[in-house]
Amino acid sequence: MRTYELVFVVDPRVSDEDVVAMTQEYKQMITAGGSQISKEESWGRRKLAYPIAKLNEGKYVLLGIESEGGKSSLPEVEHRMRQNDKILRYLTVRTDEDLKRAASRHPKTAGRAGRASPARAPPVPRAPLAPIPQPDPRRPPQGRSNAMARPRKVFYRRRKVCKFCADKIDYVDFKDVKLLQQFIPERSKILPRRISGTCARHQRLLQQAIKRARHLALIPFTTD
């Protein structure tokens, strides 16, 4: 079964009743195409992270979609949304593969979808780097001559831990604006891995989530 999330942003001048009517129309198209609506959220009026068509606010609607057998009317729905000038932005994201991949990595936290749950155990920090063992001066060097044993330096550097690995987040949700914002300091570009310490896999997921959130004006592209 394929699952999708569809988020669209409606012109704030459209009345709430009309937003509901619009949503109803799209839901009907989706169910007529053989898919089910698994979730519906209205986020109401929200400030856009950047103006779209000179508007500073938008009304957000999220639909969860389940499609058996892969056939769905989503292309038609997207086509209609593209033509509707009351819709400022829309985005469909296929989620089943990413969630499955996340669940297989951490079976215990499956289905949490990256959301922080209050009952969660505190993140287990990784063991700090053990200093490189120094040769014991009391012990005679084994095998090698003294000239071969070069003095080794011990580097202490600030331990960088991938936040997502530590928190066992394997699905980076583009809707989790608070989480994403931690990785875009001064509200501009994505914090590089060498600074944030995020591992390569999670950085990739993070970048994708940030791009999706930017498209929906949940987070900005630049400061100005």
CA-angle at 202, arms to 197 and 207, nearest 5°: 100
Nearer to Zn ion, 164 or 171 (CB): 164
The interface region with Zn ion, picked from 12-20, 50-58, 99-107, 161-169 by CB under 5 A, is 161-169
- What are φ and ψ of residue 197, in 5° steps? 80, 5
What would the x/- binding string for Zn ion be over residues 112 to 151, using CB under 5 A? Answer: ----------------------------------------
Token pair belonging to 193 = 């891995």
Size of site (CB under 5 A) for Zn ion: 5
What would the x/- binding string for Zn ion be over residues 192 to 211, using CB under 5 A? Answer: -------x--x---------
DSSP 136: P
CB 203, min distance to Zn ion, A? 8
Nearer to Zn ion, 27 or 163 (CB): 163
Decide: residue 156, CB within 10 A, 0-12 exposed, 13-18 middle, 19+ buried.
exposed
| Per CB under 5 A, 161 contacts Zn ion | no
The number of C-alpha atoms within 13 Å of 140 and in the hemisphere containing its C-beta is 2
Residue 62: strand pairing partners: 7, 41
| Per CB under 5 A, 214 contacts Zn ion | no
Nearer to Zn ion, 103 or 199 (CB): 199
- Out of 113, 162, 206, 219, name the contact with Zn ion by CB under 5 A: 162
| Per CB under 5 A, 166 contacts Zn ion | no
Token pair belonging to 90 = 């829309």
* Alpha carbon separation from 30 to 37, 83, 88 (Å, rounded): 8, 17, 20
Nearer to Zn ion, 37 or 165 (CB): 165
CB 209, min distance to Zn ion, A? 13
CB 167, min distance to Zn ion, A? 9
- Out of 103, 165, 190, 191, name the contact with Zn ion by CB under 5 A: 165
> What is the CB neighbour count within 10 angstroms for residue 172?
24
The CA distance from 121 to 191, in Å, is 27
The CA distance from 40 to 103, in Å, is 23
Helix (H, G, I), strand (E, B) or coil at 160: coil
What would the x/- binding string for Zn ion be over residues 64 to 103, using CB under 5 A? Answer: ----------------------------------------
For Zn ion, the binding residues (CB under 5 A) are 162, 164-165, 199, 202
